[in-house]
Amino acid sequence: MDLTQFLRSRLGAARTADLKRAGFSERTLASALSNGVITRLQRGVYVTKGADPDVVTAFRANGRLTCISAARFYGLWVLREPETLHLSCGNGLPKPRVVDHACMTHPPHPYLPVAGVADVLMHALRCRPELESLVMVQSAVSQALLSPDYLTSKLPGPRNGRARTVVGLVLPRAD
């Protein structure tokens, strides 16, 4: 697999460490950079033409896509496409035109800047209207990505009461 194919398999963007783990040398990266095949987005991140804009924005913000913005990466159902990007940046600094969610507590996607499915759903339960978050959780349960009991156990305390109520509406065997 050549460098551009590898980047396309990662939606057009990857960190230098991932490129090196895949066997691409500094020399290969420098050559592709000088030939205009790839572009350095920022230190440690390379992109190719046609890179996914949400992935590029996540890399640029040093964050991970989450909530409704990450639904497509896990095949979760949504009622409508997000109007603003939802990221988990973890540093608390405000970013224009971005909803910045809490830090992540679960392992993220292995190579894309996307939060883990449990964090995606917890952020959606706290952020989106009840019906929208229910649809996302129901699709995750239907795909056996996680169970309602697991999700409920990750939502303790009084501030998560509404989220637990939504998870309680999930039908375990619904299609």
Q: Can you give the residue ranges of every domain in the chain?
A: 3-51, 56-168
How confident is the model over 10-53, as pLDDT tens digits? 999 999 999 999 999 999 999 999 999 999 999 999 999 999 99
Position 29 scores a pLDDT of 93
Confidence (pLDDT) at 103: 85
Is the pLDDT assigned to residue 118 strictly greater than 90? yes
Residue 160 has pLDDT above 70, yes or no: yes
DSSP code of residue 88: E
**Each residue's pLDDT tens digit, 41-100:** 999 999 999 999 999 999 998 899 999 999 999 999 999 998 899 999 877 677 778 888
pLDDT at position 174: 60
- The answer to whether the Cα torsion of 44, 117, 144, 80 is positive or negative is negative
Q: Which helix or strand (DSSP H or E) is residue 132 part of?
A: helix 130-142
The yes-or-no verdict on residue 4 having pLDDT over 80 is yes
- The pLDDT of residue 139 is 95
pLDDT in tens, 129-146: 999 999 999 999 999 999
Q: Given the DSSP bridges, would you call strands 13-15 and 38-42 parallel, antiparallel or unpaired?
A: unpaired
Lookup result for tokens 């009461």: 161
pLDDT for res 175: 60
Tens of pLDDT, residue by residue over 96-112, are: 788 888 788 899 999 99
107 vs 64, 91, 92, 104, 150, CA distance in Å? 11, 18, 20, 8, 15
Query: What does the pLDDT read at residue 64?
Result: 95
pLDDT at 96: 79
Q: Distance (Å, rounded) from C-alpha 21 to C-alpha 84?
A: 33
Is 79:134 a contact under the CB 8 Å cutoff?
A: no
Instruction: Write down the pLDDT at residue 172.
Output: 76
Cβ-based burial of 172 (10 A; exposed 0-12, middle 13-18, buried ≥19): exposed
Instruction: For tokens 């896990």, name the residue.
Output: 74
